[in-house]
């Protein structure tokens, strides 16, 4: 397949540390150059009960990485008799991505030390932070995150900030748009935020969905 025909997520993905857990979020647009190839792409994935990952980059590479990590974490849990720590998962992703995956990823989750989010770049760099955005719309999302973030956010506050950041990127980045996917990972595990709840929060904040 030529470079022009590769399906890419374009994208805005977000990782956000809360008082007791993390938020992972993304838009749902996939592009091939200036073509909007899909408006319903999944860019947030559960890797285990306590860890998730967002994807930006080549779709085929991303899906392969998700399957690989789900398998490796499952094997780890069976051998160790417990969940993989979030930092261990992020470090493993950073090691694997160096083999030639065209991706920018966020790994986030909750373990015995609390909530953590890590950005993973294509060279294998693994950096932990309180809030992260990866993808073509990240510049616009980061401005919103910078303005709104504060320590010890509640789950509700985290959802609202993620929606605000996604809205900023979707208004300015042509490769980001359409729907929103948001997940919360806390002490009880991975939880999808229902679409009707996301739409309700958009309306209360003052955004149209989709816009």
Active site members:
11
Cβ-based burial of 143 (10 A; exposed 0-12, middle 13-18, buried ≥19): middle
Q: Assess contact for 22 and 109: CB atoms under 8 A.
A: yes
Q: Assess contact for 72 and 83: CB atoms under 8 A.
A: no
Overall size of the chain counted in residues: 211
C-alpha to C-alpha distance for 195 and 175, rounded to whole angstroms: 21
Among 77, 38, 45, smallest CA distance to 63 is for: 45
Q: Assess contact for 165 and 131: CB atoms under 8 A.
A: no
Beta-bridge partner residues of 45: 53
């Amino acid at each position: 397949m030529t470079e022009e025909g590769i399906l890419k997520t374009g994208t805005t993905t977000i990782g956000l540390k809360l008082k007791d857990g993390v938020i992972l979020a993304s838009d749902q647009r996939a592009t091939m150059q200036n073509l909007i190839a899909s408006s319903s792409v999944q860019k947030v994935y559960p890797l285990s009960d306590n860890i998730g990952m967002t994807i930006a980059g080549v779709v085929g590479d991303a899906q392969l990485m998700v399957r690989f990590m789900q398998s490796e974490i499952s094997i780890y849990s069976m051998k160790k008799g417990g969940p993989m720590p979030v930092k261990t998962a992020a470090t493993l992703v950073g090691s694997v991505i160096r083999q030639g995956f065209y991706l920018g990823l966020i790994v986030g989750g909750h373990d015995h030390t609390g909530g953590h989010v890590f950005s993973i770049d294509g060279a294998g760099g693994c950096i932990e932070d309180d809030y992260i955005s990866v993808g073509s719309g990240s510049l616009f999302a980061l401005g919103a995150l910078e303005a709104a973030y504060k320590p010890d956010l509640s789950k509700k506050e985290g959802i609202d900030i993620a929606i605000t950041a996604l809205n900023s990127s979707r208004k300015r980045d042509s490769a980001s748009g359409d729907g929103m996917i948001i997940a919360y990972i806390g002490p009880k595990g991975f939880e999808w935020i229902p679409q009707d709840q996301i739409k309700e929060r958009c309306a209360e904040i003052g955004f149209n969905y989709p816009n």
